[in-house]
Amino acid sequence: MSIGMDLKIFILCTLTQLVHTKSVHLGVVNEHEGVRKVYEGVIKASGTLLLKTVKTMAFEYPGDEKIRGIAVKDLDNGAAQPAINRGGLGYNFVNLKFKSERGSGFRFLVEIYM
C-alpha cells in the first residue's frame, strides 16, 4: 500500500499545525485509502464572567457510510475541552460537546473524515 501525495501533504500540514496549536484527535483514521474530509467548521463561543461556556455540535451523514476520523484543533490554545457525547467512529453521526474554563470562551476547528 503506498501513501498518495494528497495524504502526505495532509500529514505534513497536520504536523505543522500541531506545533502551533493544541489538537485533540477524538478518532484516528487507521485506514487511509479512500478517506475524505466531509466536514470542516469552526465552533466558537464567548466567555461569561465566572461561568463555564458549554456548546454542542451535531453532525449526521446520510446513508450507510461510517465516520473514520474526527480531529478537533484548539485555535486559541486555551483550556477548553472537547468530548464525544454520542456516535463517533463507526457511526454515521456524532454529537460533540465543548466546555471552556470559567470566564473564558473557545474556538475550535472541527474536521470529520469518512
pLDDT of 23? 60
Q: Cell numbers 470566564 label which residue?
A: 103
Residues with pLDDT less than 70, the chain = 1-32
pTM (two decimals): 0.72
Indicate the domain borders of the chain: 5-113
Measured between alpha carbons, how far is 64 from 74 in angstroms, rounded to an integer? Answer: 30
Q: Which three cell numbers stand for residue 34?
A: 479512500
25 beta partners: 71
pLDDT of 41? 96
pLDDT of 18? 46
C-alpha of 114 from chain center: 13
pLDDT of 63? 86
Measured between alpha carbons, how far is 31 from 7 in angstroms, rounded to an integer? Answer: 11
Measured between alpha carbons, how far is 88 from 95 in angstroms, rounded to an integer? Answer: 8
